[in-house]
Structure 1
C-alpha cells in the first residue's frame, strides 16, 4: 500500500510541476534597434531631437520609454553662477498590439537653458509579458551642434 501511495504522489507532483511549465510562455526580450541619435552624437540645445528606432518582439510589444539624464562628473573650475539647468527627460509611449514598429518623432525638445555637456540617453522597451530590454547611448548637449533637418 505504501508503494502505491508513493507512486501516486510522484505521479501527482510530476503532473503538477509539468503543468506549471508552459513551453509557449514568452521569455524573450523585445529588440531595440536605435537608429538616431547615435552614440556620441551632439544634440543642439534649443532644438528638437531627431529620434528614430525599430522595435520588435516575438509575441507582442507593450511600451517604450525614453530617459535622458546628465552624465556630469561633478567637478567644475568656474566660479560664475550658471543660468542653465541640468536637462532631464522621461516619457513612455504605448505600442500595445504591435509585434514590430518603426518609431520616428521629434517630440523631445532640449530647452534653451539646458546645461551643455555629457548626458545619457536610455531607451527601455517592455513586451506584453513584462520582459524588458534597454539601450544606452552617450550624447552631448551643445550650442554648436548641427540641428537635424528631417
Structure 2
C-alpha cells in the first residue's frame, strides 16, 4: 500500500509539473515612438534611393519574425492599423506601382530587437518608372508562439 501511495504521489507530481508551463498570451509590440524610428506616418521615401527601416520590436517572451509590405494607395483604401490619415493626392489608376514584400527573421531568444533593415526602392523596372504618390508601409510582427501585431503607415513615394 505504501509503494502504491508513493507511486501515485509521483504520478501526480509529474502531471502537475508538466501543466505549470507559463502560457504566452500577449501580442508583440511595434514601437515607433523611439527617436530614430523611420519611416513614420506621412513620411516621404524617394525612388532610386535606399532607406533604413528603424523600429523597436518587443515581446514579453520571445520575438519571431517581421515582414514589411509596401503597396500603392492610389485608391485611398485604409487599414484598421493606421495611426492617422495624411493629406492624400487625388485618386488615380496605377500604371506601374512599386511593390515590396520582405520577410525578416529575428535572432532567437530576443525579447527586444532594434531593426536596422535597408530597403532599396528602385526608380523603376522593365515596365518603366514606378508611379509616384500615396503608398502604405505595412509592418507585421510575429512572436515565437504565433501572436502577431500589425501597424500600417501612410507614406509618399516620389522621385527627387
- TM-score, with structure 2 as normaliser: 0.68
Q: How does 1:55-134 map to 2 (within 5 A)?
A: 55-73=57-75, 75-76=91-92, 85-97=96-108, 98-106=110-118, 108-112=119-123, 113-134=129-150
Moved over 3 A (4+): 74-77
Q: CA deviation at 1:127?
A: 0.3
- Of residues 31, 34, 37, the one that matches 1:33 is 31
Q: CA deviation at 1:105?
A: 2.6
- Taking the aligned partners of 2:142 and 2:102, their CA distance within structure 1 comes to 14
Q: CA deviation at 1:95?
A: 0.8
- Taking the aligned partners of 1:57 and 1:134, their CA distance within structure 2 comes to 13
Number of matched pairs: 121
- Taking the aligned partners of 1:125 and 1:22, their CA distance within structure 2 comes to 27
- Taking the aligned partners of 1:39 and 1:89, their CA distance within structure 2 comes to 18
> Larger Rg: 1 or 2?
1
Does the CA-based 8 Å contact 1:60-1:96 persist in structure 2?
no
Does the CA-based 8 Å contact 1:44-1:141 persist in structure 2?
yes
CA RMSD in angstroms, aligned pairs only: 2.5
Q: CA deviation at 1:50?
A: 2.4
For the residue of structure 2 that corresponds to 1:25, the secondary structure is coil
Does the CA-based 8 Å contact 1:96-1:128 persist in structure 2?
no
